[in-house]
């Protein structure tokens, strides 16, 4: 990943409302959420949510698809994974045990989400 891409993604998350929306999308999993449901869950007006989603999408952290009359938003897990890998690259000077607790927590969180028990 280029540093510009990492900066763009980190900048997109560096605002409370966008971070909350992104976390809601991550919790929703690959199925995502309809825009209206996402707005209610975030407690955000539609125009504010639209701007937040545009920034997250432009940064490669969210995506949208149309289903009938609804627009469904979901986290871009590939983009999120790329950012996390970039941040963890060359972790701890070749001492993976330092990063092991983080990897274990990430694996557990993903397993919990796959079982339908969102954290």
The CA distances from residue 62 to 15, 23, 115, 116, in Å, are 15, 11, 22, 21
Kindly state whether residue 81 falls inside one of the protein's structural domains: yes
The CATH number covering residue 69 comes to: 1.10.10.10
Kindly state whether residue 16 falls inside one of the protein's structural domains: yes
Kindly state whether residue 51 falls inside one of the protein's structural domains: yes
What residue numbers bound the domain in which 45 lies?
Answer: 3-88
Kindly state whether residue 117 falls inside one of the protein's structural domains: no
**What would the pLDDT profile of 8-51 be if each residue is shown by its tens digit?**
999 999 999 999 999 999 999 999 999 999 999 999 998 899 99
Q: What is the pTM of this model?
A: 0.81
Kindly state whether residue 95 falls inside one of the protein's structural domains: no
Kindly state whether residue 70 falls inside one of the protein's structural domains: yes
């Amino acid at each position: 990943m280029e540093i510009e891409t990492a900066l763009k993604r980190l900048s997109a998350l560096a605002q409370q409302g966008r971070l909350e929306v992104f976390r809601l999308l991550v919790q929703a999993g690959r199925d995502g959420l309809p825009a209206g449901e996402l707005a209610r869950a975030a407690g955000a007006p539609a125009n504010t949510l639209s701007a937040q989603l545009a920034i997250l999408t432009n940064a490669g952290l969210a995506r949208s698809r149309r289903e009938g009359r609804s627009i469904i938003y979901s986290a871009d897990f590939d983009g999120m994974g790329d950012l996390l890998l970039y941040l963890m690259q060359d972790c701890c000077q070749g001492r993976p045990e330092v990063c092991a607790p983080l990897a274990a927590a990430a694996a557990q969180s993903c397993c919990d989400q796959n079982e339908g028990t969102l954290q």
